[in-house]
Amino acid sequence: MKQGIHPEAFPKAKMTCTTCGAVYQIPSTVKEQSVEVCRGCHPIYTGKAQKDIKGGRVERFRKRMAAGHGGLDRSVAGKK
């Protein structure tokens, strides 16, 4: 391994979340760093994103089917 080309490793580097203010100690090549969103406040990890996803295509499909406006027109489908 060549000497002098590898970055210095900090086993207990400080990472700070700017959104929630949480501070973590992580291994890194930078002594201190800040991130916008961490695992404590990210929507995917906290489960908040799942509530937004449910109102998408499936919900619109079910609403259309309940109203009777989805699917094929039966009078035209049998004629070819």
Structure confidence by residue, pLDDT tens digits, 1-11: 788 898 899 99
Q: What is the dihedral of CA 67, 68, 71, 74, to 10 degrees?
A: -170
**38/26 Cα distance (integer angstroms):** 12
Sign of torsion, CA 63 65 69 72?
Answer: positive
Q: What is the token pair recorded at 18?
A: 């700017």
CA–CA–CA angle 67, 73, 76 (5° rounding): 170
76 has pLDDT over 80: no
More confident residue, 68 or 80: 68
Structure confidence by residue, pLDDT tens digits, 21-30: 999 999 999 9
pLDDT in the model for residue 27: 94
User: Mean pLDDT for the chain?
Assistant: 80
Domain boundaries, the chain: 10-70
More confident residue, 54 or 35: 35
pLDDT in the model for residue 74: 55
